[in-house]
Chains A and B, each alone.
Chain A
């Protein structure tokens, strides 16, 4: 395969920060840690740009760095866990004796690993579709739909009118619906 992908760090934040953040948070389940991991990913990417061979897309390459960061994060937390082990006193006879059986019963309404995996994959699929939209349109959609900002806040933040916001939202929703239809529902 001939290397044909190039790196342009000037656009990394705009193009990939939300995708990478969603990727990280769905795996570490902590907003602050996810932000740190994304920040570290960009910095590592910057430092190892010379190693980029151009065989994968910019996003794939950054995601592979993030994956390694996530593994490192879990390695670190696991080694810390050994030092601060929480001991549960199930063997002590107390007033709550016998409760442990109930506590350990599986929650039938809890999410299974497959459900969680599907959520993560669906999130990735939506971000794949979002990345095909014009930059501003994708950002407006994210702020409105995912972050849940109200119309006025977005209009002030991005300096647009409310009617312009709804036009962009409409275009984004139409494009996303057909993209997901092709790549998620029919796949």
Chain B
């Protein structure tokens, strides 16, 4: 248990990334909070990471889904072959 709660800075960064996507477990979240409480570096990384997440959410960005992208690729390739 002790090993699970007291983590390295690198491990904390990994958990922090997972947390941005809601994929960190409860134990991982607790371990991250402990690390953030005393480690300046982890705290800075966590702050920057959270800021990035909220910025991206504010932008309400869109990108093509895999199926949409493949459809576009297929259409374009046909035309490209005619062109070349």
Residues on A facing B (Cβ under 8 Å): 9-10, 12-13, 17-18, 21-22, 25-26, 31, 34-35, 38-39, 42-43, 46, 119, 122-123, 126-127, 142-147, 151, 157, 166, 169-170, 173, 176-177, 180, 184
- The residues of B that contact A22 with a CB separation of less than 8 Å are 61-63
Question: Which among B52, B68, B79 is the interface contact of A173 at CB below 8 angstroms?
Answer: B52
Are A166 and B52 in contact, CB atoms less than 8 angstroms apart? no
Are B17 and A146 in contact, CB atoms less than 8 angstroms apart? no
- The residues of B that contact A42 with a CB separation of less than 8 Å are 72, 76, 79
Are A166 and B17 in contact, CB atoms less than 8 angstroms apart? yes
10 further A-B contacts with Cβ under 8 Å, apart from A22-B61, A46-B83, A119-B58, are A9-B80, A13-B73, A21-B62, A21-B63, A31-B62, A34-B62, A146-B62, A151-B21, A157-B66, A166-B18
Report the separation of the CA atoms of residues A145 and B22 in the bound assembly, to the nearest whole angstrom.
11
Are A123 and B65 in contact, CB atoms less than 8 angstroms apart? no
Report the separation of the CA atoms of residues A176 and B55 in the bound assembly, to the nearest whole angstrom.
11
Report the separation of the CA atoms of residues A9 and B18 in the bound assembly, to the nearest whole angstrom.
36
Are A13 and B72 in contact, CB atoms less than 8 angstroms apart? yes
Number of residues from B at the complex interface, CB < 8 A: 32
Report the separation of the CA atoms of residues A118 and B73 in the bound assembly, to the nearest whole angstrom.
31
Are B52 and A35 in contact, CB atoms less than 8 angstroms apart? no
Q: With A46-B80, A177-B52 as given contacts, are A39 and B58 in contact (CB-CB < 8 Å)?
A: no
- The residues of A that contact B63 with a CB separation of less than 8 Å are 18, 21-22, 142-143, 146-147
Query: What is the 8 Å Cβ interface bit string for chain B, positions 40-62, against chain A (1 contact, 0 not)?
Result: 00000000110110011011111
Q: Which residue of B lies closest to A49 (CB)?
A: B83
Are B61 and A38 in contact, CB atoms less than 8 angstroms apart? no
Q: Chain B nearest CB: distance from A54 CB in Å? A: 19
Are B61 and A146 in contact, CB atoms less than 8 angstroms apart? yes
